[in-house]
Amino acid sequence: MKSLIDINSDMGELKHLLDNSTYAEMMQYITSINVACGGHAGDGDMMLAMVMMAQERGVKIGAHPSYPDKENFGRIKIDMTSAAISETIAEQITRLNEIASNNSSLLTHVKPHGALYNKAVNDEEIAVAIGTGVKYVDEELKLVGLAGSKMLAVWQGMGFDIMGEGFADRTYECNGTLRSRKFDDALITDPGIAAEQAECMARNENFTAVDGTALNITVQTICVHSDTPNAVEIAHAVHTALQP
């Protein structure tokens, strides 16, 4: 089923979501996945499962690298040099790329995870380090980042094709950044509300930040997290709302 815009989801992070068929069910409603590749989560078996599942369903496969910190699920900033960030990014992508290529699949994109993603939004040095790591593997890979952020401009300047990302299941601050997960209202778990926000983004219409400010962003992909409560229902509602 076609969608008005790419719908992506972060996957391969939690075994129970594989075992209870959340990943399989969500793949009915999305067009690309971002696979955890050993930094914050994921191992060879999970990466293989995600690659094969996506291949079977015609879903695009991307890498979801992060700070190398499984203990904190990659959601806390780690002090690393730019060179070390580039190195771990390259290592994580390479691991997934090898599994994909060994099973007749290709990676199409890279989307950083968690704290690394959030830091790169406004930190040019970290954004460059991420881009450098990707270049070590394949400079043809697209880079996915927060719509309207500095990270996209940095990556575009490095020669990458970029995709501005919006979030169906996350609330926003008035400056266009994501509401921190430390707040109870950071997640949108109501499928109808998530679908409405996604449709506004896809059609370049205004939606509302947590303080009531009207926001308008240009996106090429919209994320529904696989670990958000009601994830399958949200993905279904978003996909339905984004029918062309």
Number of helices (H) and strands (E) in the chain: give both, helices first: 9, 9
| pLDDT for 88 | 98
Give me the mean pLDDT over the 122-149 stretch. 98
| pLDDT for 244 | 82
| pLDDT for 2 | 62
Q: How far apart are CA 173 and CA 161, in angstroms?
A: 26
Model pTM above 0.85: yes
Neighbouring-strand partners of residue 109:
62, 142
Per-residue pLDDT at 112 exceeds 80: yes
CATH class of the structural domain 6-241: alpha beta
Q: Rounded to whole angstroms, what are the CA distances from 182 to 37, 76, 179?
A: 25, 12, 8
Q: What is the pLDDT of residues 189-242, one digit of tens each?
A: 999 999 999 999 999 999 999 999 999 999 999 999 999 999 999 999 999 999
- pLDDT band for 149, please (50, 70, 90 cuts): very high
